[in-house]
Amino acid sequence: MFEWFLHLQLRELAGRSVLRKLRHDESLGSDREALVAAFEHNLRAWWHSLASARPRNWNWRRKRQLDHVLSDADRFVQALNDRYARPSGPRH
């Protein structure tokens, strides 16, 4: 029983630490408030895991946005490879 209590206390402490950093992280831009709200929700609901398999606000729209970002990143990496890499070696 003590282990469970200790786990909850450490979870709360770690969560609050991350939450403080999220609130002040300017690099998150317009997504910051949504991330802070979702993180606060997970801290309030102690029965939710911080590493849930299905995070709050995860839906088909978020999945489509993430797929788009990953696709753009793949195209960018391919363009860099096409421009700078020579897998068959230098040309003579």
- Mean pLDDT, the chain, rounded, equals 83
Q: What pTM was estimated for this model as a whole?
A: 0.45
pLDDT of the residue at 71: 96
Residue 34 lies in a domain: yes
Pick from 23, 25, 34: which is nearest to 61 by CA?
Answer: 34
Residue 52 lies in a domain: yes
CA 62/CA 58 separation, integer angstroms? 6
Higher per-residue confidence, 15 vs 49: 15
Cβ-contact 23, 36 below 8 angstroms? yes
Query: How far does Cα 55 stand from its chain's mean position?
Result: 10
Residue 63 lies in a domain: yes
Cβ-contact 38, 15 below 8 angstroms? no
Residue 89 lies in a domain: no
Residue 37 lies in a domain: yes
Residue 92 lies in a domain: no
Q: What is the DSSP letter of 12?
A: H
Number of domains comprising the chain: 1
Given a cut of 60, whether residue 49 has pLDDT beyond it is no
- Residue 28: give the domain boundaries: 2-84
